[in-house]
Amino acid sequence: GAKAIGKNKYHYYTKSMREQALKRVTLISDMRNAIKNEEFFVLYQPIYDLKTGKITKAEALIRWQHPTHGVVSPYDFIPLAEETGLINEISDWVFEQVCKNICYWRQHYLPELQVCINTSPMQYVDTENGIATWLEHLRKSEISPQAIVLEITERLLMSADHTVSDILAQFRAAGVQVALDDFGTGYSSISYLQKFTTDIIKIDKSFVHSINDSKINRTLCEIIIMLGKKLNLQVVAEGIETSEQNEILQALQCDFAQGYLFSKPIEPEELTALLRDSS
């Protein structure tokens, strides 16, 4: 009867909750060993200059090849890494890989590329071991700071902490650029542009996906692009999947494009080949 079904549902529900909690705990403990077990890898998604059609930037995106779960999405493990503090170690590892790849591209005389690296708010809290160590590393290395872009989100700027703006200012003074990711999805995107200096804004893919659905979505993209021009910022549209979306963005004079229409995230060797072809 109804009661039995209800009861079963209840059991099913608690079981799945328990499973989820277990999965969470296992993922967290597995994540602690993932670096030394070499389960992480970095893919690069090319970003194209819409005026020249050339790849001038690429976004570094982490992947986790879990021994039993297959490839785990960063949407699933980055939040856990942030909760547990593992994010600092993981981010440093990503930075290290990016530096290695940049050195390789440089040594092989490939066209210069800016690599965009996603960063998490927690990296800006620890002033000793946090992201500031990247600056030191860059100073000691042969990598030009101009080759690096830090991607930040409004979540970081919301803290309104002046250590955050101090750290970002130090990076910018050294020549590292700052990109505001997922632009438009927060509550006060425009006010952050006024308070924190950035170089690039990335239009969130939710706006790009809906660009041909309605006049209002198209207008929103248009306004973000105009804002970028007025403030002298580069504008990247992310998540372009169709040629219709691309045509609209080109008509609106968007500067840069990133999305499956052009390329999905690829292995560093594949990016090397693309850069070679285009040079």
Q: Does 118 bind Mg ion (CB under 5 A)?
A: yes
Q: What angle do CA 224, 186, 27 make, to 5 degrees?
A: 125
- List Cα–Cα distances, 113 to 15, 71, 101, in angstroms: 49, 27, 11
Tokens encoding 28: 């967290």
> Which residue, 58 or 138, has its beta carbon nearer to Mg ion?
138
Interacting residues of 161 by C-beta distance below 8 A, sequence separation 6+ = 124
Give the residue carrying structure tokens 């909760």.
83
DSSP secondary structure code for residue 227 in this structure: H
Site size toward ligand C2E, by CB under 6 A: 24
| Binding range to Mg ion, per CB under 5 A, among 20-28, 148-156, 191-199, 251-259 | 148-156
Question: Helix, strand, coil % (nearest 5) of the chain?
Answer: 50, 20, 30
Give the residue carrying structure tokens 């690829």.
266
> Which residue, 89 or 241, has its beta carbon nearer to ligand C2E?
241
| Binding range to Mg ion, per CB under 5 A, among 2-10, 26-34, 147-155, 227-235 | 147-155
Interface characters, 181-220, with ligand C2E (x: CB under 6 A): xx----------------------x---------------
Among the listed residues 30, 92, 154, 181, the single contact to Mg ion using CB under 5 A: 181
Q: In angstroms, rounded to a whole number, what is the distance separating the alpha carbons of residues 226 and 231?
A: 9
- Residue 118: which of 163, 161, 78 has the closest Cα? 78
* Helix segments in 141-214, DSSP class H: 154-157, 162-174, 189-195, 205-209
Q: In angstroms, rounded to a whole number, what is the distance separating the alpha carbons of residues 184 and 174?
A: 28
Site size toward Mg ion, by CB under 5 A: 5
Interface characters, 126-155, with ligand C2E (x: CB under 6 A): -------------------------x----
| Binding range to ligand C2E, per CB under 6 A, among 3-11, 125-133, 142-150, 253-261 | 253-261
Interface characters, 61-100, with ligand C2E (x: CB under 6 A): xx----------xxx--x------------x--x------
DSSP 77-146: HHHHHHHHTTHHHHHHHHHHHHHHHHHHHHHTTPPP-EEEEE--GGGGT-TTTSTHHHHHHHHHSS--GG
Q: Does 55 bind ligand C2E (CB under 6 A)?
A: no
Interface characters, 212-231, with Mg ion (x: CB under 5 A): --------------------
The residues pairing with 10 across neighbouring beta strands, listed in sequence order, are none
Among the listed residues 259, 268, 271, 275, the single contact to ligand C2E using CB under 6 A: 259
In the complex, minimum distance from the CB of residue 186 to Mg ion, in angstroms, rounded to a whole number = 12
Chain CA centroid to CA 115, Å: 10
- Note the residues at the interface with Mg ion (CB under 5 A): 118, 138, 151, 181-182
Binding site for ligand C2E (CB under 6 A): 45, 61-62, 73-75, 78, 91, 94, 118-120, 151, 181-182, 205, 238-241, 258-260, 265
